[in-house]
């Protein structure tokens, strides 16, 4: 482990006997970084087994758990304004296009998930179930802002089928309605 300049460690720190008793150290050598408090200790197989048995089936923190939509909205509202706009250290003067902001929003992700669930995670053209599934707007995202989050304006397509649409990628620039 490397330390940056000015990083403070306990090396060379001298503590009073009263403080040592409070933190439960028999000697201050462990605090000086010379000897680990567990150095030389051996743990029995029974102790190790009991410890692993106590931790079986437990995941640390919220690992593997999905937060509900309500909780995500509450967290979003709580963090709103903390590092948004010019308050963010990575601020570059507001160069993010509005469409990029919309596509990164919670509402857009919920729309995408709703379309995938409606189509049962299957490409509606070829029936592919696995691989890269895209959610495509039937009427273009940029041309119909009022239909951006309409579930009936979305469809699930695999990558290959999505490439064949008239509005995919650079073809969208030449697309005339």
pTM for the model stands at: 0.49
Tell me how far apart the alpha carbons of residues 167 and 164 are, in angstroms, rounded to a whole number. Answer: 9
Mean pLDDT for the chain overall: 80
List the chain domain ranges. 104-177
Cα within 13 Å of Cα(48), Cβ side = 5
Tell me how far apart the alpha carbons of residues 78 and 100 are, in angstroms, rounded to a whole number. Answer: 22
Per-residue pLDDT tens over the stretch 18-49: 766 666 655 545 555 555 666 667 788 888 88
Q: Is 161 exposed, middle or buried (0-12, 13-18, 19+ CB in 10 A)?
A: buried
Could you tell me if 119 and 152 are in contact, meaning their C-beta atoms sit under 8 angstroms apart? Answer: no
């Amino acid at each position: 482990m490397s330390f940056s300049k000015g990083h403070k460690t306990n090396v060379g720190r001298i503590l009073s006997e009263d403080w040592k008793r409070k933190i439960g150290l028999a000697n201050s050598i462990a605090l000086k970084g010379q000897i680990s408090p567990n150095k030389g200790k051996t743990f029995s197989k029974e102790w190790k087994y009991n410890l692993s048995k106590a931790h079986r089936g437990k995941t640390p923190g919220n690992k593997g758990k999905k937060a509900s939509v309500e909780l995500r909205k509450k967290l979003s509202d709580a963090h709103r304004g903390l590092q948004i706009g010019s308050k963010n250290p990575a601020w570059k003067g507001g160069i993010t296009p509005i469409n990029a902001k919309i596509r990164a929003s919670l509402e857009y992700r919920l729309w995408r998930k709703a379309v995938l669930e409606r189509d049962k995670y299957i490409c509606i053209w070829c029936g592919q179930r696995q691989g890269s599934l895209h959610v495509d707007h039937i009427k273009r995202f940029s041309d119909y802002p009022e239909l951006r989050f309409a579930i009936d304006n979305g469809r699930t397509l695999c990558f290959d089928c999505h490439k064949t649409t008239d509005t995919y990628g650079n073809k969208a620039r030449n697309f005339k309605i």
